[in-house]
Structure 1
Amino acid sequence: MAVELIRIVSRSSPMALAQVERVRTELAALAPGVRTEVVPVTTSGDRWMGDLGKLGGKGAFTKEVDAALLAGKADLAVHCMKDVPADRPLPAGTVFAAYLRRDDIRDALVDPAGRTLGELPPGTRIGTSSVRRIAQLAATRPELACVPMRGNANRRLEKLAAGEADALLLAVSGLHRVGEQARISQVFGVDEMCPPIGAGVLGLQCREDDTEVIDLVSGLSDPGTFREMEAERMFLHVLQGHCNSPIAGYAKAERDGRLSLWGRVFSPDGKQVLDAHEWAGPLDPATLGTSVAVALLRQGARELIDSIPH
């Protein structure tokens, strides 16, 4: 029996719903006869504005979504891959059937006065709760003050307008998704601000026994992005980082089939930076992810990660 309806479960934030609309648009082009409907859920991560570590880390954004999928209330979950933990396996019975073509992986500065990072005076309050961003800021501009700020991009922009911070660090792709890219005052190169694992990638998760939906949505997958995600998620899995670990990195699939992966681990104060970069042939991205992680472990990544409270 052909698939007639796909129920898509998603977090209910404007950002998450914008991501779902991209999936619906691409599905409509791929399979015009298939209807889609959205099943919104509010996750514990969305409700909680404190330290994510106290909620069990990044899984706080995915638990309720996974539950709806496994209970059969939905057929497909849309995840921002940077929010999906890789230190533990996917929930039993689920699989990522596709990764959409990757968006911009870079970070951006949003400063109402339009200044660049180098132009911000000492003591400027930067709104971010990302340990990855905080560590990299501490390494380059330790005289700036980071103030904790969670919530989706729209919510953070509201907090900026309310004076809770002087500037923000946000993902370029996220600002584009909510139509706020005009707010960007500086885009950082990946050498200036290394992105999180899974940056700019939407993953489509299905029940592994739902072969009809898997077969259909796998047609949306971008082959290069799929290989990048396999390498990055294995990298993170081998490192066994937790949500307070300043780990960054990205894989890049070249048009000729070559694949590279850059991985970095920081101390929270940015004073210690471990770095590894390797190329693989056209085969086995997971081996590349393992190899780069092992290179960082040889430099002391395990000790550095385990020394950070979580």
Structure 2
Amino acid sequence: MSDPQLIRIGARSSPMSLAQVRRVRAELAAAHPGTATEVVPFTTSGDRWSGALVELGGKGAFTREIDEALLSGAVDLAVHCVKDVPGDRPVPAGTQFAAYLKRDDLRDALVLPVGHPGARLGGATLADLPAGTRIGTSSVRRIAQLAQRYPELEPVPFRGNANSRLAKLDAGEVDAVLLAVSGLERIGLADRITQILDVEQMMPAVGSGTLVLQCRAGDERVIEAVGALNDAETYRQTTAERMLLHVLQGHCNSPIAAYATTEFDGRLSLRARVFSADGKTVLDAHEWDRNAHALGTSVAATLLRQGAHEVINAIPH
């Protein structure tokens, strides 16, 4: 780009979010040497709130203020974890997703406190934990799957950024926590991982491991700049997952899990599950297609035929 102009990047002020912005700035600098960027940090309502997200209107609590800053022109670009962007409604009018960064690890991790004899990778597993172990998590998706597979463990409401949750874990507020592998890697704390949970043990959230760049609709300067950062397969996979979520119309209290992968022949595979809050009802679907939108729609339709609408609506929100 000749005569580059400043790109102001809005981001949450947590260590995780700022680490994600550093990645974007580095990739932008590599793609367009000389491009100037500036970070504009935000503390969102979701960051300030310690209660249940449903009381703030769901996951949009983590993106609302930055969306407003984009629309007002206060920032030019936003960096979001796709799993934090509501999937039951379109992105705010006047904005668009401009690039999906290459996907990171989409799995969840078990973390034990510093000093625990099993607190090392391969040292302990969820199955090893004694009955009554307090697992810190406020994710309805994780809670439902714990209830299904490990009913003897006790989920404890646990909010905050990854750093603060680890500090609370080490202070003894809970006995273990579940966190995203990608998040721990981004903040340089992958060495805290005790067990990486395979996708059958703990199916990921829609959009797990994916960062998306959002800008004002039609802002060709920014769209051109970040276009080089887009990963085509991550876009296809995430589009299938978000289409599924859109068709299901799941709310923020809906235990919905899904992940898409790309097969050797170019087809997309999409596996999805809908859980009741207590994990006793599990709906499962797995299909393949080359078209991401068609695949997400078809898998959602299969789950709806199994009763997903009734399961989702039975959960207060």
Q: Specify the TM-score bucket, using the shorter chain as the normaliser.
A: over 0.9
Classify 1:69/1:255 alpha carbon distance in 2 versus 1 (closer, same or farther; 3 Å): farther
Give CA deviations for 1:197-220 in whole Å, capped at 9, x if unaligned: 000000000101211111220110
| 8 Å CA contact 1:225, 1:253 repeated in 2 | no
Distance (whole Å) between structure 2 residues aligned to residue 159 and residue 135 of structure 1: 23
**Structure 2: which amino acid aligns with 1:300?**
G
Aligned partner of 2:300 in structure 1 is 293
Partner Cα separation in structure 2 for residue 154 and residue 101 of structure 1: 24
Structure 1 residue 126 corresponds to structure 2 residue 140: no
Counterpart among 146, 151, 157 of residue 155 in structure 2: 146
Q: Note if 1:202 corresponds to 2:203.
A: no
From 169, 182, 186, give the equivalent of 1:177.
Answer: 186
The residue number in structure 1 matching 2:121 is: none
Shift of 1:2: 5.1
Partners of 1:255 and 1:5 lie apart in 2 by: 40
Among candidates 210, 214, 235, match of residue 244 of structure 2: 235
Q: Name the CA distance, whole Å, in 1 between partners of 2:3 and 2:88.
A: 36
Q: Runs in 1 of length 4+ with deviation above 4 angstroms?
A: none
| Cα shift at 1:191 | 1.0
1:5 and 1:36 in contact (8 A); partners too: yes
Deviations 1:57-114 (A, max 9, x none): 0000000010111110111000000000011111001000100000000000001322
**Is the 1:3–1:213 contact (alpha carbons within 8 Å) kept by the matching residues of 2?**
no
Moved more, 96-105 or 207-216: 207-216
Distance in 2 (CA, whole Å) between partners of 1:133 and 1:280 is 28
Q: Name the SS for the 1:95 alignment partner.
A: strand
Across the aligned residues of Structure 1 and Structure 2, the Cα RMSD in angstroms comes to: 1.0
Question: 2:310 is matched with which residue?
Answer: 303
User: For residue 211 of structure 1, what is the aligned residue in structure 2?
Assistant: 220
In 2, distance between residues paired with 1:225 and 1:89?
19
Task: Give the equivalent residue in structure 1 for 2:231.
Answer: 222
Q: Percent identity?
A: 68
Gaps of 5+ in 2: 119-123
2:6 matched residue in structure 1:
5
- 8 Å Cα contact 2:112-2:169 kept in structure 1: no
SS at match of 2:302: helix
What residue identity is the alignment partner of 1:293? A
**Unaligned segments of structure 1, at least 5 residues:** none
Q: How far did residue 255 of structure 1 move?
A: 4.6
CA distance in 2, matches of 1:208, 1:257: 30
User: How many residues are matched?
Assistant: 308
* 1:1-310 alignment, distance < 5 Å: 3-112=4-113, 113=116, 114=118, 115-281=124-290, 284-310=291-317
Counterpart contact for 1:132–1:246, Cα < 8 Å: yes
Letter in 1 for 2:51: G
**Letter of the aligned partner of 1:28 in structure 2?**
A
Partners of 2:286 and 2:8 in 1: CA distance = 40
- Contact 1:249/1:264 (8 A) holds in 2: yes
Deviation at 1:229, TM superposition (A): 1.2
The more displaced of 262-271 and 108-117 is 108-117
TM-score normalised according to structure 2 size: 0.96
